[in-house]
Amino acid sequence: MNCSDACAATMIDSHNHIHFRAFRQDLPEVMHRAASGGIRAMLTVGIDPRDCSKALDIARIYQGVYVSLGIHPQNGGRFAGQEVFGLKDLCSEPVVAIGETGFDLYRTPESEDAQKDLFLAHIDLARELKLPLIIHDRAAHVQTMAVLNDRGAWSLGGVFHCFSGDAALAREVVRKGFLVSIPGVVTFRNSTQLKEVVQTIPLECLLVETDAPYLTPEPFRGKRNEPLFTAQTVEEIARIKGVEPDEVARQTTVNFCRLFLAGKQLKSMDGT
């Protein structure tokens, strides 16, 4: 069964960067394809103060677009913790999360200390604003878990986006009460570890995401990623778990609402 037919208007792309330059030429078409292909809502993630403002501009134009405010760990050293607190001024209705924050020791290992400073500031801001955290953990599982443990940050709630750990780490993350978000990488033939994570973790603890414009799933690899392609991840999770795509779409939508909307009504891209 084709997922877009099976689960019309139920999928949520829980992490993308739809406000990035990569979509400047054709954003209306991208949003139209998403809405008519079954994407009910999305969360676009800001990576520095100016970028967060751009994310909010898009959310004001398109219903069903939510925003997370943060300074990406790869920007460690370029911004101080104080600038994270400055994001408070941008906190408005479409904002439902703080991040992405954490460590990227794959791309920017040299700025680990600065990344940690930013991470700590995000945790304090999330606590002050009572918002959940979006965690970016790349090649930094030990460091990321240590900060969350030391700061007692699990009580804030949150998600490890683009999860890149093994099944044991995923189990630990959900045991502490965070969700695990699955990107399109799961469609790659050689993504054995991520497929095992999907197999291990109950559907009630998973989100789906594109991280568009990056990480394009099969069979579109090589093209720019877009929210519509959330469907490929939903289908692959359904295949791995032996359930209908519709069930994956519905449950991950429920999970999104539970984590980010805390009882508030979901605003859909189709206006319902």
* 8 Å CB contact between 174 and 138: no
Token code pair at residue 218:
């099969």
In the complex, residue closest to Zn ion by CB? 136
Q: Which is nearer to Zn ion, 4 or 115 (CB)?
A: 115
Q: Which is nearer to Zn ion, 4 or 68 (CB)?
A: 68
C-beta of 47: minimal distance to Zn ion in Å? 7
Q: Which is nearer to Zn ion, 104 or 236 (CB)?
A: 104
Peptide bond into 100 cis (omega under 30): yes
- How far is residue 98's CA from residue 71's CA, in Å, rounded to a whole number? 9
For Zn ion, the binding residues (CB under 5 A) are: 45, 100, 136, 211
Q: Which is nearer to Zn ion, 54 or 136 (CB)?
A: 136
C-beta of 107: minimal distance to Zn ion in Å? 10
C-beta of 134: minimal distance to Zn ion in Å? 8
- How far is residue 198's CA from residue 184's CA, in Å, rounded to a whole number? 12
Q: Which is nearer to Zn ion, 211 or 236 (CB)?
A: 211
DSSP secondary-structure letter at 48? S
**End-to-end Cα, the chain, rounded Å:** 25
DSSP secondary-structure letter at 258? I
C-beta of 205: minimal distance to Zn ion in Å? 19
The C-alpha angle 119, 18, 266, rounded to 5 degrees, equals 85
C-beta of 51: minimal distance to Zn ion in Å? 11
